[in-house]
Amino acid sequence: MTEHLSSPHGAPPSRRTALKALGGAVAAGGAAVAATGAAAPAAADGGKPGRIPKDLKPGGAFDRFVADLASKDQFSGSLLLTCRGRTVLSRSHGMADKRTGVRNGPETRFALASVTKLFTATAVHQLVQQGKLNYTDTVGAHLDGFPAEIADKVTVHHMLTHSSGLGDFFNLPGFPEESKKWDTADKVLNGTVQFIRRTKLAFPPGAGNLYSNAALCLLGAMIAAVSRRPYYDYVTEHVFQAAGMRDSAFYTKPQWRTDRRIAHPYTKLPGSSQRTDSLEENLFIGLPAGDSFATCADMERFAHALLDHDLLDAPHTDLMLGAKIPRPPQKNPPQGSAPPESTAFAGYGPVTALSQGQWIHGHGGGSSGASTNIDFFPGSGWVVVILSNYEARTTEPIAGLARRLILEQ
């Protein structure tokens, strides 16, 4: 999608021992979890906590690959690789604002596109943990005005696993024109939900798989209804600040235009070899489905805060990360995608893959001028964050190479 208040401040998350972090995540990935939400039992993980492969070190094959892409103007952005909390490689390439000559750097905030869904999912699990939501709650239990096929049948479980039958809303008649008029956070979220009320399900809930930005926006509205706080305020306090994500926020379009720390989005128009600044195509503010902003360091903090149980207790972390529904195999997987022997699942927010005996949790995102990816490997302690202000799929070959090198060590 063009899926996509001021920057929050908070103390860095505690870094518990690696064994504690691994224990919770391994339990999450040990086996498929039934729709009832019961956590899978703990299982041994195939992670290898040995030496750092030379190809992932500064000057190694991975570093050279990214530099080559950047030299050909095929990558602009920042990346961060850490192993058990220690930085292995940090790099930035390209321009954050080509007009004013601001370069990307480690402090640059990037639009996250669909990686934002991880924050919305975390908030949902927090409210479940507090007893204010349930995975079996229907849309109609907390939101009104929906047709019966949605209100009475679509559950939190369906929306988290993209099995609700809800799809997208960006191409709905009238949405592009109407959304340009929204100039507050409330208008953006409430206006989007109003358009979703008019949609039809592609299939009965639970009967298929359809990636759904609409579902995550409804979850955001449910977070606001249940917490009795604006969605944006809840996520700022209970996710960004709780995880020590000091440079993360849902920036507004006026902030995006003027803040030199925020990367402008660039994309190629059809038939053109030149990229154009696509900032004005975006909404006034991002949605629960996409386009919050963060630095690479903040995304790495998020991964550790989740695995260290700073955001959720151990059972609900297990529920969030654990495999739920197998994802259909891709007919034409992109260059650099996960190895073909991987088995991918929808988790309760993240995408979870089992490859070469290791669990990989994370999410990717792409829109006009944003391509993002985070992977964390609980068995071996790796976290890989790649954020780009170029068009969708820019980060895919980079993320794919990182996965291969980590899994082969």
pLDDT > 90: what percent of the chain? 81
What is the extent of the structural domain holding 398? Answer: 54-408
Four-residue CA torsion sign, 401, 367, 244, 106:
positive
Q: If DSSP codes are grouped into helix, strand and coil, which group holds residue 26?
A: helix
**Cβ-contact 227, 182 below 8 angstroms:** no
* DSSP conformation class of 161: T
Task: Let me know if residue 23 belongs to a domain.
Answer: no
Task: Let me know if residue 83 belongs to a domain.
Answer: yes
Task: Let me know if residue 162 belongs to a domain.
Answer: yes
Task: Let me know if residue 1 belongs to a domain.
Answer: no
Q: What is the mean pLDDT of residues 228-233?
A: 98
Task: Let me know if residue 85 belongs to a domain.
Answer: yes
Task: Let me know if residue 116 belongs to a domain.
Answer: yes
Question: Given this model, what pLDDT does residue 333 score?
Answer: 53
pLDDT at position 392 over 90: yes
Q: What is the C-alpha to C-alpha distance for residues 238 and 155, in angstroms, rounded to an integer?
A: 23
pLDDT at position 15 over 80: no
> In degrees, to the nearest 5, what angle opens at C-alpha 143 toward C-alphas 142 and 144?
130
**Cβ-contact 372, 386 below 8 angstroms:** yes
What is the CATH classification number for the domain harbouring 70? 3.40.710.10
Question: Given this model, what pLDDT does residue 32 score?
Answer: 28
- Per-residue pLDDT reduced to its tens digit, 296-355: 999 999 999 999 999 999 999 999 999 999 987 766 554 444 555 578 999 999 999 999
Task: Let me know if residue 176 belongs to a domain.
Answer: yes
Going by C-beta distance under 8 Å and a sequence separation of 6 or more, which residues neighbour residue 258? Answer: none
pLDDT > 70: what percent of the chain? 85
| Confidence category of residue 272, pLDDT binned at 50, 70, 90 | confident
* Backbone phi, psi, residue 321, to 5°: -85, -25
pLDDT at position 357 over 70: yes
Provide the β-strand partners of residue 277.
266
- Per-residue pLDDT reduced to its tens digit, 43-92: 334 445 568 999 999 999 999 999 999 999 999 999 999 999 999 999 99
Of 317, 127, 115, 306, the C-alpha closest to 234 is 127
The sheet that has 325-326: what strands, in order across it? Answer: 86-93, 77-83, 382-388, 370-377, 358-367, 351-355, 343-346, 325-326
Task: Let me know if residue 39 belongs to a domain.
Answer: no
- Per-residue pLDDT reduced to its tens digit, 154-192: 999 999 999 999 999 998 899 999 999 999 999 999 999
Using alpha carbons, list the distances in angstroms from residue 365 to 120, 291, 370, 396.
14, 9, 7, 10
Domain count, the chain: 1
